[in-house]
Structure 1
Amino acid sequence: MSAQLSPTPLLRAFQDSYQDLVRFIARRTGSTHDARELAHDTWLRLAERTESEPGERPPPEPAARAYVYTVAENIAIDHLRRRQRGMERFASASQDADAEAGAAHDHSTHDIAERLSHRQALDAVDAALRQLPQRSRDIFLADRLEGTGHAELAERYGVSIKTVEREVMRALDSVEAAVHRWRGDTAPVRTGRRRALSALLGVAGMGVGSTTLWQAWRQWIPSYQSTLATAVGRVRTQTLPDGTRLSLDAASRAEVAYYATRRAVQLLAGSVFFDVARDETRPFVVAALGHEITVLGTRFEAALQDGDLRVAVESGQVRVRSSSGEERVLGAGDSVRIDASQRFTTAHLGEAVAVAPWREGWLDFHHVPLGEVVSRLARYSPRPLRVEPDAASLPVFGRVHIAQAGTWLRLLPGSLPVQVWEDPSIPHAIVIARRSPS
């Protein structure tokens, strides 16, 4: 009977959107075969509506397309719920091991497809947020994820409450448009109050469990992000939202991202001393050169130097895992160096040796090659420094006051068989080479 219906706005919208609709349903269910069957069910539902309400005023074309997608989404949700209930009954009733394994596999496949769908949606939202100005993005995330009040945000950013509201609405419009693009439809014309982000990413918005997706959002999308950097000769201390304090040495750079379940830092250059606020629900992880340092709350330094990673602990415990999977657990006074060949070199600093002495304006060197020493001093020197290969391996013992590093270099020939001069080919450059035998 339905097959004899003349085209209506709803059925025309279905026909015009059929291929996109099948792909839309396939993303929800993880199965192209199921998507075609569910698309057919969608057509039947639309046809039944047309038959049962022949005198109803037809919706305009844009609304018809949105209605088609809504019907298809509800049918896909019902399909997933039935399949879930069927698997649960099967698992509870069956005693056959092979059948149980097959059900577990089907369930796992569905879970993977659903997680992929979640991630695709979140990637679309994340991309939309990244295109916003920094202030708009920060205000939106603070408002929607942290629950910060508009008055507090207005004071924090030095703007009016009305401006905060506009920034939130601007970001929400961008997010909603991204979700509709991901779904394959067009964002409706704004006619009323904007929905909360949790509703937008929930059942009505995407056809998946809102709690699951909201938790995925909080896990994958950072609530706080910042890039910290220092110039040559400059140090900096930054307090993070949880009270953690980062002290950056000169010529250092790190990227910080806080998520619901973890706090992450990517060390890109130089040295950073971490005074980590304890939070057992969110481990603090520092990544550098493919290695990972994991703590809950402690004080330690992570430093990059000539392709090596060095970690030194002042208090607490730190777990260091190399990119090859090897691990070490360090306590107070312990240090480790991981070189380019993944080799661990551990040591105990002793009570007389400070961790990150550059915070107090000093550098300590104990049997450190001169080439590495000069590379370290270069972070503070406005003049280029160069060590010739014949002198680079000479061992250095001693303490250097950073503010007097230039004087220390000039006096170096008194303690090592080297000579120091200015290179006329490079303006103001200082060169250190092994002294010729007399």
Structure 2
Amino acid sequence: MTAELSPAPLLKAFQESYQDLVRFIARRTGNAQDARELAHDAWLRLAERTGSPGIDAPPVARAYVYAVAESIAIDHLRRRQRGAERFAATDGPPPEPRTVDVAERLSHRQALDAVANALQQLPARSQAIFLADRLEGASHAELAAQHGISVKTVEREVMRAMDGVEAALHRWRGDAAVPARRGRRRALSALLGVAGLTAGTGLWQAWRRTLPIFEAVLATAVGRIQVHTLPDGSRLTLDAASRAEVAFFASRRSVRLLAGSAFFDVAHDAARPFTVGALGHQITVLGTRFAVDLGADGLRVAVESGRVQLRSASGATRVLGAGDIAHVNAAQDISTTSSVDEVAPWRTGWLDFHHAPLGEAVARLARYSPRPLSVAPDAADLPVVGRVRVADASGWLRLLPGSLPVRVDGVDRPDGPIVITRRP
């Protein structure tokens, strides 16, 4: 586990409390199977907070670890409840319609007016981008191309609008102060307090469609590969040291790959397109099984069956079929090839390299290594060809000097870093 490699007080407290922490989360969620996954999510959040003033003192650190774990457990229960509500069986008579009294209708109308006023105060471009993003499901890449701006600028415009709407709702509720932003998503339905209301207004119905009915942050630790079954029956296999965000809406399904690699087996649903975003690029599923990899040299998409449409951040598009591989480089150029090799061989414990730079190959292997791996700059560009069994990475490293002019130091030690340098 990566926590064992860091002396930071927060991560040390996590390591020392790991087993107790898993049991703590299991008691909170009632699910021992999910507890280890949620503990790894806690580790990722703690890693982001390492070095923050006031929480690195050992007594405080342990309390903070448990506070983070409890917060993640609560978030998990809320997501599970939302998913259960959305995908629950509908057998039996329909529920009685909910009666909304006049005072409640007036209160909700005032909330909608607050939202409308907040949107009207936005600059024209910000308003257009926000409505297209939230109501029409337009991708950030499409909006960037349409307005002649970068994807990052589109993200800032959407976040700016969300901040304005949230501030307006807090003022409507009478909150003394608007709390600081925490995370990318806001539970606006909680602010409104009317998750099941059908007020009969076009604005409210449109706004409800923008709220996710299921969302999750998925992450794996070093050396761990995990399969997640999504509420629609799709399966997402997440490679080691990888991270993704999942959000399902009434009219669309989306995943953002933030780090590492993932393999998707997507359930067909013509009414709800399935898209994967990464590095500002977007993959739209046309019914398929495919893999997405993030690397130092850009984005790679490989299709096992079916078809996908790849749209780069620059607006270039390609349709890929079974056996096709596409690569988007830093200049946002798309190149395509075909291959009969297995797609995402890491799912079965293998890594394939075809003239890959040694630095890239070792960085890929590092996702599974409990020990730090590094390559000297003068050896990083040496080409690697071959198949590596992840479970025997040390054996491959020992044999490496036989095929490349390199020296591997530290591979025979039980711990510490492994360093690859070029042989004179």
Q: TM-score scaled by structure 1?
A: 0.55
Find the aligned partners of 2:360 and 2:83 in 1 and give their Cα distance: 43
Find the aligned partners of 2:110 and 2:387 in 1 and give their Cα distance: 57
Match of 2:323 in 1: 333
- What are the equivalent positions in structure 2 for 1:220-369 lying under 5 Å apart? 220-349=210-339, 351=340, 353-369=341-357
Find the aligned partners of 2:357 and 2:238 in 1 and give their Cα distance: 24
- Alignment of 1:138 onto 2:68: no
| Contact kept? 2:79, 2:216, Cα under 8 Å | no
Find the aligned partners of 1:177 and 1:146 in 2 and give their Cα distance: 29
Match of 2:394 in 1: 406
Alpha-carbon distance change, 384 to 340 in structure 1, aligned in 2, over 3 angstroms? same
Find the aligned partners of 1:429 and 1:185 in 2 and give their Cα distance: 55
Find the aligned partners of 1:131 and 1:251 in 2 and give their Cα distance: 19
- What are the equivalent positions in structure 2 for 1:61-76 lying under 5 Å apart? none
Find the aligned partners of 1:146 and 1:401 in 2 and give their Cα distance: 40
Match of 2:364 in 1: 376
Alpha-carbon distance change, 371 to 272 in structure 1, aligned in 2, over 3 angstroms? same
The CA RMSD over aligned residues, in Å, is 3.4
Shift of 1:300: 0.2
Structure 1, residues 179-231: CA drift from partner, whole Å, max 9, x if none? 495684779xxxxxxx97454x525xxxxx2x55224312x100000111100
Find the aligned partners of 1:272 and 1:329 in 2 and give their Cα distance: 19
Alpha-carbon distance change, 183 to 392 in structure 1, aligned in 2, over 3 angstroms? closer
Question: Helix, strand or coil for the counterpart of 1:332?
Answer: coil
Match of 1:66 in 2: none
Find the aligned partners of 2:394 and 2:351 in 1 and give their Cα distance: 13
1:213 pairs, out of 180, 186, 204, with 204
Find the aligned partners of 1:346 and 1:385 in 2 and give their Cα distance: 30
Find the aligned partners of 2:110 and 2:328 in 1 and give their Cα distance: 43
Question: Helix, strand or coil for the counterpart of 1:365?
Answer: strand
- What are the equivalent positions in structure 2 for 1:80-99 lying under 5 Å apart? none
Unpaired stretches in structure 2, ≥5 consecutive residues: 1-70, 91-103, 113-168, 176-192
Question: Helix, strand or coil for the counterpart of 2:370?
Answer: coil
| Contact kept? 2:394, 2:411, Cα under 8 Å | no
Amino acid at match of 1:376: R
Shift of 1:404: 0.5
Greater radius of gyration (CA): 1
Find the aligned partners of 1:416 and 1:363 in 2 and give their Cα distance: 18
Find the aligned partners of 1:368 and 1:132 in 2 and give their Cα distance: 41
Structure 1, residues 101-152: CA drift from partner, whole Å, max 9, x if none? xxxxxxxxxxxxxxxxxxxxxxxxxxxxx99942664366357655668xxx
User: For this pair of structures, how many residues does the alignment match?
Assistant: 266
Find the aligned partners of 1:225 and 1:214 in 2 and give their Cα distance: 20
Find the aligned partners of 1:132 and 1:214 in 2 and give their Cα distance: 30
Find the aligned partners of 1:185 and 1:402 in 2 and give their Cα distance: 54
Question: Helix, strand or coil for the counterpart of 2:227?
Answer: strand
Shift of 1:434: 1.4
- Alignment of 1:418 onto 2:415: no
Amino acid at match of 1:417: P
Question: Helix, strand or coil for the counterpart of 1:266?
Answer: strand
Amino acid at match of 1:247: T
Question: Helix, strand or coil for the counterpart of 2:408?
Answer: strand
Shift of 1:310: 0.4
Q: TM-score scaled by structure 2?
A: 0.57
Find the aligned partners of 2:173 and 2:348 in 1 and give their Cα distance: 59
Find the aligned partners of 2:110 and 2:297 in 1 and give their Cα distance: 41
Amino acid at match of 1:270: G
Higher-RCO chain (CA-CA 8 Å, sequence separation at least 6): 2
Question: Helix, strand or coil for the counterpart of 1:312?
Answer: strand
Find the aligned partners of 1:132 and 1:379 in 2 and give their Cα distance: 26
Amino acid at match of 2:258: L
Shift of 1:340: 1.1
| Contact kept? 2:83, 2:231, Cα under 8 Å | no
Shift of 1:341: 1.3
| Contact kept? 1:387, 1:432, Cα under 8 Å | yes
Alpha-carbon distance change, 136 to 416 in structure 1, aligned in 2, over 3 angstroms? closer
Alpha-carbon distance change, 182 to 306 in structure 1, aligned in 2, over 3 angstroms? same
Unpaired stretches in structure 1, ≥5 consecutive residues: 1-129, 150-171, 188-194, 204-208
Shift of 1:390: 1.0
Alpha-carbon distance change, 245 to 178 in structure 1, aligned in 2, over 3 angstroms? farther
Structure 1, residues 338-395: CA drift from partner, whole Å, max 9, x if none? 111112221101x3x1000011111111111111000000001111111111111111
| Contact kept? 2:253, 2:272, Cα under 8 Å | yes
Find the aligned partners of 1:139 and 1:392 in 2 and give their Cα distance: 45
| Contact kept? 1:279, 1:296, Cα under 8 Å | no
Alpha-carbon distance change, 142 to 300 in structure 1, aligned in 2, over 3 angstroms? closer
How many percent of aligned residue pairs carry the same amino acid?
53
Shift of 1:177: 12
1:397 pairs, out of 385, 393, 400, with 385
Find the aligned partners of 2:80 and 2:296 in 1 and give their Cα distance: 39
Structure 1, residues 287-308: CA drift from partner, whole Å, max 9, x if none? 0000000003210000101151
Find the aligned partners of 1:266 and 1:242 in 2 and give their Cα distance: 17
